[in-house]
Structure 1
Amino acid sequence: VQYKDAQGQPQVLPVDGGSRTVTVPGLSASRRYKFNLYGVWGRKRLGPISTDAVTAPATEEPPSQPQLGELTASHVSPDSVQLEWSVPAGAFDSFTVQYKDAQGQPQVLPVDGGSRTVTVPGLSASRRYKFNLYGAWGRKRLGPISTDAVTAPVEEELPSQPQLGELAVSHVSPDSVQLEWSVPEGAFDSFTVQYKDAQGQPQVLPVDGGSRTVTVPGLSASRRYKFNLYGVWGRKRLGPISTDAVTATEEPPSQPQLGELTVSHVSPDSVQLEWSVPEGAFDSFTVQYKDAQGQPQVLPVDGGSRTVTVPGLSASRRYKFNLYGVWGRKRLGPISTDAVTAPATEEPPLQPHLGELGVSHVSSDSVQLEWSVPEGAFDSFTVQYKDAQGQPQVLPVDGGSRTVTVPGLSASRRYKFNLYGVWGRKRLGPISTDAFTAPAPATEEPPLQPQLGELTASHVSSDSVQLEWSVPEGAFDSFTVQYKDAQGQPQVLPVDGGSRTVTVPGLSASRRYKFNLYGVYGREQLGPISTDAVTAPATEEPPSQPQLGELTASHVSPDSVQLEWSVPEGAFDSFTVQYKDAQGQPQVLPVDGGSRTVTVPGLSASRRYKFNLYGVWGRKRLGPISTDAVTATEEPPSQPQLGELTVSHVGPDSVQLEWSVPEGAFDSFTVQYKDAQGQPQVLPVDGGSRTVTVPGLSASRRYKFNLYGVWGRKRLGPISTDAVTGE
């Protein structure tokens, strides 16, 4: 599940393949979110399917805004500064420390909201730094408070320069080579092995200074490689010493075979399949069948499994199941079997009924709705209506509610509200009502609507046009310029409300463009005013295409890597560094075109990263050049411990759990249990919580709950407890 949080940052919530529901925690009240759900099938990501939701308004009185006190430097060393600060009133959610490193690159250090001190690492000796601290409170960023500090000088006598001995190959396989080397004198801080891969791309493998051997992985079989080893000593790179090696020939594994597919267990809504693999091993399997509506369904299974349960079937129905084995890029099979699901044994509950929908309270910007359910119970409700711009809106309501307030409406306007009841997979209704919002309070005289004047082209070049306009009356919140590019695609350029001129870049020479300017005033878009302009012919000879040189990792810490690169010819407009974080999510770091070094922050310790650097030149993206780096080892904190798990509250459809952590701190928790259909469910919980409510349970049913603590890459536990839901 992917969505953006209240700060606009993308978030990813993983869900196991057997689940059909998940609760997204940690959202902000009264806020619209768009959720995209992707299905992962083997190495493919299918989808997304999407939906919008507006979180309910917060009922608590918002806390008073906190205040930042003073920021001081309490301890200084040659490569770090310890900062301390005070918060005289209130509490912040988190802090960020901002400063520029020795290369002038901006750096950001996040700090949790409970801290009042932080050590800024990786600084240069005898250098003045300015530190700005911001406090994050809800959606606001308060501050900064600032302080200056000069790092201490390096007092140690530099040791004598070390020397590299010989580099040799000690072991060869089809996809790797083991290298060994000697250091006859002195000691290096670290080493780097450089070589070119099968595609001719330069690769860099960092090695710690205490090692004398390393295995270079990911090579191609039966191929000659040249390896260069450099020794890093302080800021110097010594060497290289070199050797050649030819990787061994790879024997292809024999193709695996599928055996028989049988049905081992049948229920009204599921079938358990079993199969054999008499020879070889598959990477994964897929089960394909058609559901009750005739739609094809695919169920992925890992390569080590020999059984799988196909859920969500219809009772008393014949299904044909095909099983395929995936081996490398090949799909073998299928083997097939038929099965008839068992008849339904339970009497389905009576369908609930919607009563009447009425309006119980009206204000200038909201309407309170009330409704009745004369028979049965719904799982949830949805209220649908169109806003002042005619856009459809959906407001979700839980199944136990009989009233809801619809916020964000316009004054003195007629709205039609439709209420639907959700019962299992059915949506019943709607029941409807109309309402007029109250007129806006007459305390303030609304400002006069602004007016747009004339739009002119004041300067024209071969690839840009400068526009100017007037606003004879009033003030706009912002403007937008709309036009079509050389390919006929519509483009939109936003402009702040205080501007009266803007340059439209990226145009084609000797081409006529029509520009429309709109003024945005509150929720209204006024205009457009228009003008035509013809770009000047191209007079200059285009500069020659620049070239990227080599990319290397020049400094490594537990949570950052410093990259360096060269541009042997020409100049780029900008660069982008791309890599995947510890969760496998792609990250992009923009760098200005004049830089030749950048520090990538926020990495995980003792982890291999691959960095790709692209050069942006006009509309072209050149590259990439690549390098690998392993972050330094971080002294791990002591392992936390789980205490006891207890049930603190029980309802007919929910259970509240509580637990203790007698020692240490976890990054997060997960609660695992099986629902009334026996399907495993996973509920994620943040690491600071000690209680959670498990919703959506069935009445008068025994459940077993397992709680795991997630600490780094480890999952500790579980601790367990049983509970029986109320009637």
Structure 2
Amino acid sequence: MCVFCSSHRPAQSGLGEIQIMDKRLLFVFITGAQLSVAFAQTLQYYFVNVSLDWTSAQSVCRRDYTDLATIETTADVDAVLSTASNYTGKAWIGLYDELYNSWKWSLDDSSFYGDGEYTFRNWYPGSPNDLYGPQLCVRLISVSDPLHRWDDRQCSDVRMFVCYNGTVDGTPSFVLSNVSLNWTEAQMFCRKNYVDLASIRNQTENDLISALISSTDVWIGLYRDKLWSDGSLSPFQHWADGQPGSDSGVQCAATEFGSGRWYDESCSQSLPFICYKKIIPNAEGLRASDQDESSITLQWNKINNSTSFVLQFNGSETNISSPDGDGPVNYTVSSLTAGTRYTFTLFSVFESIRSSGVQHTAVTAPTNVEGLRPSDQDESSITLQWNKINNSTSFVLQFNRSETFISSPDGFGPVTHTVSSLTAGTRYTFTLFSVFEGVRSSGVQLDAVTAPENAEGFRASGQNQSSITLQWNKGDNRTSFVLQFNGTETNISSPDGDGPVNYTVSSLTAGTRYTFTLFSVFENIRSSGVQHTAVTAPQNAESFTSLRQDETSITLQWDVVNNNVSFILQYNETELNIAPPAGQQPLLLTVSSLTPGTRYTFTLFSVFESIRSSGVSIAAVTAPENAEGFRASGQNESSITLQWNKGDKSTSFVLQFNGTETNISSPDGDGPVNYTVSSLTAGTRYTFILYHVFMNVRSRAVNITVATAPANADSFRQSDQDESSITLQWSKINNSTSFVLQFNGIQTFIRAPDGDGPVIHTVSFLTAGTRYTFTLYSVFENIRSSGVQLEAVTAPKNPEGFRASEQDETSITLQWNKVGINISFVLQFNGTETNIRAPDGDGPVKHTVTSLTARTNYTFTLFSVFENVRSSGVSILATTGPNYVLGMNLRLKLPITMSESELEDALIELLRKYNLPPQITLKIISSKP
């Protein structure tokens, strides 16, 4: 950053960041020449009261100290002044002016410059030269140098300048100012409005700017500051008023001891001088942050990234680097002896210079106790025991977030301690620490439990013929149980969840009493135990079955167990109590008032002394109702689609016809059932029988009779047509099959004619020259076939105005009116036919017949043609020349405006009306209103 800017970068040096300390120490001593010393932050200043030139003073400081003084803060200024209380003159400091190697760019971004680009220079010969005093800024010359090289100038000069404005498509963008400012103002202007004053990294960019500025000298971003002897880049300044001076050749700085301000002086002048040494502060906060039996972890505050450490103990040294980050330094010393004192000395080290060092004494933890175990326990206490270590080692027992301090007892026996007021059936974790001089061992743990309480609520929750299910309240997840009966023991784990414990004892005899004893167990310790007596259930009834059913009832049957066993029948959330019958015959029971087509589950329990057997279940169904809505929903020549209402999703169907049966599943959804019977004969009656099926039980049958559609008529074609009718023809099927003809939204019913010949039907009142689509259906018992289609057209109208419009000895020109857009024509004469397309536009059609014989009559017949169908035709007689031209002047009164062609047609008709010779042709030469 330049000296002319208001902002400052942090002080840096090649040795890393310098930390500022609040306290300063002042030492004054003399060795040979008078020497005064002051500490400021991490620098120790020395005043050498020997007058030397600046270069000699620099050599002495570098030989005996570190370097000439670098002053980076006002605190440094105060520290320098404190080194000489009685001296008021000037003394050299390390600041000096270097003409060639101190130049730098205003845009201080290392990523902006490639290899060699930051040091690119284009000096004018003899520059830089500090002509007329210090010149710290650079201009690009345009007026007097066609090569546009650079020279150094005083920064206070006012001139135009070039700003850098980023890149456009990879090319640097430069902007020439339209105002003139001094260098510092120009820098501020560019940084505010663009990026910065222009940096020139190579000859190409020099040429770009040269082309931009024309014939104007401009500021660029190159400038220089004075340098510190030790290479520090600190921007701190403390100049006296009017300094630095403008005299040429004044390149070194001295501080005045009266004010502390700096002055430019000639480097050859002899003055006392200020040297400095770096001082290394001790690390703060040295302490033991952790220890165990064989290691101690030391911790201290980090100084900075460039300061390392040396740790001394037991006659050895360990080098420790400064860690990354801002946190404290942690270092663990291992392979130590348990319960031993160690003294550690820590030195801070910077550039191989150690601090005075700090010490800390720490001890390793004692060894853990051995033999920790529970020696006794009951429902409310646990007695612990462990081996004693020695008389100077005490103990801390930790459990349930509390600590108990226990002294080491006299003698050699074990240590015993009873923990009371505990909860029954509970696991406790005890942690025991050995303690020596306030330092605990890592600790050993022991899990011990109190005896559990007896289980509560011990009872029989269920039983069947061969097992009894016992139930009791669960204590907690850590309590298990032992069940004793018939001289056996069973271990039972505590189940997951909060509910009671259920355990089933199996392989028992039906109807037998058993006595059970239950112990609660927590980590192999049993409670006193509780007892319960329970009996097994009687046997289930055998041969439980469904005999028959109809739509509303099901009859059940089962074998009797014995005269002392009654029964309970359970279905549909109801129960029926049934007494045992006399004798050993099977028992019959009819359950009525049921719903058709419904599955019922019946469960039958044998009952003895209010204890039910496990029960035996059967499923039985009532017969379903007949399917409703059985009908034919559609048919064609080879299939019939049947439809009926669906019962429910669990119902299927059986369809019978022609001696076959088809099983049909109930479809998904709520709609009706559709089933298509295919491969049938056209026009044939079929009888279908439908059964509703629910779980293999059929309903009563329903039936319908349906016929297939007849076959379509064959040979459906157009047999004739004229301008207003079309005659259709097709083959007859049989006497019982009629037909429906459909066209233009109209349906015509046509009976089959007698005999074997084809059916003929004429459709009249049609439009000439029009295409029609006819659909013909065969009909049998009101059922139509799929239908066949035919497209046919009516004949077009004859053309109007057919006449000879011109002729000569060898040709006759014929003319007639166009009929329609899609109508062409056929002209017949002398046994030949000519196809003529209708011309575009609305005018008449003209056709010239050539190669004729003079003075000969010809008969021409003209047909209109629509889709290859001809009209009836119109004929005229015309004669070849020579022509006789008759001129007539006619005065006609016309009610409407007519074209010449329309007028010719009208006159021809007029002449024909009065029987003028047909050979006369007429052409209007002119017409006037």
TM-score, reference length from structure 1: 0.17
Write 1 or 2 for the structure with the bigger share of strand.
1
TM-score, reference length from structure 2: 0.14
Larger Rg: 2
Write 1 or 2 for the structure with the bigger share of helix.
2
